[in-house]
Amino acid sequence: EISGDLTASVLANQIRGSITRRQEGEIMFPPELVPLLEKIQSYNKQADFLKIEQAYLFAARAHAGQLRASGEDYIIHPLGVAIILAEIGLDTDTIIAALLHDVVEDTGVTLDELAEEFGPTIASLVDGVTKLGRLEDLLAMAEDLRVILIKLADRLHNMRTLNYRPRDKQKETAQETRDIFAPLAGRLGISRIQWELEDVAFRFLEPEKYREIAELIDRKRDEREAVINHAMLDLKERLKDVEIEADISGR
């Protein structure tokens, strides 16, 4: 249940006959959908929350019985992709297309059915994501930039659960991510997605170096400062021995 701004008083003009669940004047949303709706609400209070719920329920039914490599229900993936896109403030159509982005490729749903249920724009976005596949020249293939954004969010969410895939698949996906998807996110100015793609790819491609760096970063701040202060004192003494005057600072 969503309280506050997402009650029926705000959503009354958005209610359709296809979604009728209500209780004492409040609209009840699936609890797993609430985090997504709250993120959208933070930047777009006029979003069509009921249509987003409709898309979520449609995708959940289409993917019913399908599991991810992690053993989770498959619907966790499109929901995660939608949340990533909401975190960078994307529009309702893109969020809905994200929720539906795998239904044509992985279920019996057709594009015509999507268009009938959600309109031609969303069907076109889903079709674009489906056709991109693993093509390298993503920008040249996509007619709508939102297709690229969905594809980037899709890759990011898949990278977050890459540890459940076979080792050879991990390396292949990580290499492709570092070579294609992370630079593409950088070209589009989406640094939040770029750095996470680079970081996770690095962890799977060079695990020993990654662990070494992670251990250094994980040191407590006071321990790091102690190391720096010790190095500064050592440098001062050595410079003094050779009669060199210098100001030394460290971070």
Q: Which residues are catalytic?
A: 105-106
Distance separating alpha carbons of residues 12 and 22, to the nearest angstrom? 11
CA distance linking residue 41 with residue 2, whole number of Å: 11
Single-letter code of the amino acid located at 148: I
Gap between the Cα atoms of 93 and 47, Å rounded: 10
Tell me if 51 sits within 8 A of 121, measured CB to CB: no
